C-alpha cells in the first residue's frame, strides 16, 4: 500500500468488483471500520494482472488513474470466434487456413497508431444508463459507439498456429478482445482472445503488484 493505492495482481476467474470487495473487507477488518475502496479500470474475469485500487480519500482520484496507458500480453487463437471475444463465450470454428508469420506481422502493423475501435457488446460500458453486457445477455440489440484509441506498440512475441502471443502498449479505453477479433478479420480466419494479462498501468507494473491471496492472508 502506497499513498492510498493498492496494486493487486488479479487472478483468473474473479471479477474486478470481487477483487474490490475482498480488499475492502480485509482493510475494513484491519481498521475496525468500513474503508472506502474503488478500482481504476476493470479486468475481464478470465484476465489476470495489475489492478490499481484507490483507498479512502484517494478514491476521488480514480479517474486520474483510469486514464493511464496500459500494457498487456495476450494470446490470440486463430480460426475460431467467440460470442464474447474471449474463452467464456460460445466458440465457433471459422477457418482452418494457417496464415504465415509474415502475414501475421503485416496484420499487426495495420493497428499501430491512432485507430477507431468498437468496444465489445459484452463490456461494462453504459448504454442508456445500463451496462452493455446486461443488455447483451438479454438478447437485446446493442449498438456500441466507436471510439478513438492509440496503440503505441504491438509486438509479436510468438506464433505457433493457431496461437499468436502479443505484447501491446495501448491507451486507456482499448479493448484487447476487440483487437484480437479485428486481427482475425484482417487475416480472414476469425480470432478471439484466449488469454490476457495486464502487466502495467502507467508506471505501475506487475513486479509491484501483490498477489491477491497473499494480500488477504
pLDDT at residue number 1: 45
The fold of 70-200 is Pseudouridine synthase (3.30.2350)
Which ranges of 32-147 would DSSP assign to H, the alpha helix?
62-66, 101-109, 132-137
pLDDT at residue number 203: 96
pLDDT at residue number 212: 82
Q: Whose CA is closest to 116, among 197, 173, 201, 194? A: 173
* Location of C-alpha cell 490499481: 52
Q: Whose CA is closest to 183, among 164, 167, 203, 198? A: 164
Q: How far is CA 189 from CA 1, 3, 94, 101, in A?
A: 45, 47, 6, 14
Q: Whose CA is closest to 41, among 13, 11, 10? A: 10
Q: Write the secondary structure of the chain as one string of H (helix), E (strand) and C (coil).
A: CECCEEEEEECCCCCHHHHHHHHHHHHHHHHCCCCCEEECCCCCCCCEEEEEEEEHHHHHHHHHHHCCCEEEEEEEEECEEECCCCCCCCEEECCCCCCCHHHHHHHHHCCCEEEEECCCCCCCCEECCEEHHHHHHCCCCCCCCCEEEEEEEEEEEEEECCEEEEEEEECCCCCHHHHHHHHHHHHCCCEEEEEEEEEEECCEEHHHCEEHHHHHC
Active site residue 9: no
pLDDT at residue number 216: 66
Q: How far is CA 93 from CA 70, 108, 128, in A?
A: 31, 22, 33
Measure the CA–CA gap between 60 and 38, rounded to whole angstroms: 9
| CATH class for the region spanning 5-67+202-216 | alpha beta
Selecting among 3, 4, 44, 106, the annotated active-site residue is 44
pLDDT at residue number 85: 93
pLDDT in single tens digits along all 217 residues of the chain? 445 899 999 999 999 999 999 999 998 998 899 999 999 988 999 999 999 999 998 999 899 999 999 999 999 999 999 988 999 999 999 999 999 999 999 999 999 999 999 887 665 666 566 665 565 565 666 766 788 999 999 999 999 999 999 999 999 999 999 999 999 999 999 999 999 999 999 999 999 999 887 766 5
pLDDT at residue number 2: 45
pLDDT at residue number 80: 98
107's grid cell: 496484420
Going by C-beta distance under 8 Å and a sequence separation of 6 or more, which residues neighbour residue 2? none
* Residue boundaries of the structural domains of the chain: 5-67+202-216, 70-200
Amino acid at each position: 500500500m502506497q499513498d492510498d493505492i493498492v496494486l493487486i495482481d488479479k487472478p483468473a476467474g474473479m471479477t474486478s468488483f470481487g477483487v474490490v470487495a475482498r480488499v475492502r473487507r480485509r482493510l475494513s477488518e484491519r481498521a475496525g471500520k468500513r474503508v472506502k475502496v474503488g478500482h481504476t479500470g476493470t479486468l475481464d474475469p478470465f484476465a489476470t494482472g495489475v489492478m490499481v485500487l484507490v483507498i479512502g480519500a484517494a478514491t476521488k482520484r480514480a479517474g486520474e488513474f483510469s486514464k493511464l496507458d496500459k500494457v498487456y500480453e495476450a494470446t490470440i487463437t486463430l480460426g475460431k470466434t467467440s460470442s464474447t471475444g474471449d474463452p467464456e463465450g460460445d466458440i465457433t470454428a471459422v477457418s482452418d487456413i494457417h496464415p504465415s508469420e509474415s502475414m501475421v506481422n503485416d496484420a499487426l502493423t495495420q493497428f499501430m497508431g491512432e485507430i477507431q475501435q468498437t468496444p465489445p457488446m459484452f463490456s461494462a460500458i453504459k448504454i442508456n444508463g445500463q451496462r452493455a453486457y446486461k443488455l447483451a445477455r438479454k438478447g437485446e440489440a446493442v449498438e456500441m459507439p466507436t471510439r478513438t484509441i492509440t496503440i503505441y506498440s504491438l509486438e509479436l512475441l510468438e506464433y505457433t498456429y493457431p496461437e499468436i502471443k502479443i505484447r501491446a502498449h495501448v491507451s486507456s479505453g482499448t479493448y484487447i478482445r476487440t483487437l484480437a477479433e479485428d486481427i482475425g478479420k484482417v487475416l480472414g480466419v476469425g480470432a478471439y482472445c484466449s488469454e490476457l494479462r495486464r502487466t502495467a498501468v502507467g508506471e505501475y507494473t506487475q513486479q509491484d503488484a501483490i498477489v491477491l491471496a497473499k494480500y488477504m492472508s
